[in-house]
Structure 1
């Protein structure tokens, strides 16, 4: 895995799937609030007039010259929960992001959010 400070430097770089198909452009990093480690990223996808941000897990992601390769196929990512390019993920929508990728979701002990944008 990579350090949070390092992955932020990749903002604006291409995000590709395991077969090197471009998914979109890395927009932001979300950390797990329990560990402060990178957990998800948002990727800008869509046509110029209809852009949106989809969430992708960073587990198993690797970096290369000018790209971030994630472990999920492009078709799965494009169907992931999304927000508007100027939007924010509501806490109530966090479980759906994890469920889309068949990941366990557990909020903080006091019901805190699991994801925080960095």
Structure 2
């Protein structure tokens, strides 16, 4: 899907939905711990005084000049599980992120986390 070496270059770029509606800006990328491939991104959304990070899958996403286009509509992304801008995704909250987008969740064979921030 994406080259992991390029992840740092995406930070701060606009994230848009399929209709080119701006969702926010890319904050970080979470990789699947089993494959080390980018799997979710966090997007900064909200008003300047009440910002939060929402999770959006990278499956099917495309990169363009200055933006990352995801396949999910703005209304679904805005309702996604979120964390504070300086927060961390708790292990017990990972399944809710997958469920929100209809994705199957399974922890690693040894019970390890499925997502790791890059």
TM-score by length of 1: 0.99
- Tell me the equivalent position of 1:92: 92
Residue in 1 that maps onto 2:4: 4
Paired residues for 1:11-50 under 5 Å? 11-50=11-50
1:69 equivalenced with 2:69 (yes/no) = yes
Q: Which runs of 5+ in 1 are unaligned?
A: none
Q: Alpha-carbon deviation of 1:105?
A: 0.2
Question: Pairwise CA RMSD of aligned residues?
Answer: 0.5
- Note the residue ranges of structure 2 that are not aligned, 5 or more in a row: none
For the residue of structure 2 that corresponds to 1:97, the secondary structure is: helix
Runs (4 or more) in structure 1 with deviation over 6 Å come to none
TM-score by length of 2: 0.99
| Whole-Å separation in 1 of the counterparts to 2:47 and 2:9 | 25
Of stretches 2-11 and 107-116 in structure 1, the one that deviates more from structure 2 is 2-11
2:79 is matched with which residue?
79
Aligned pairs, how many? 118
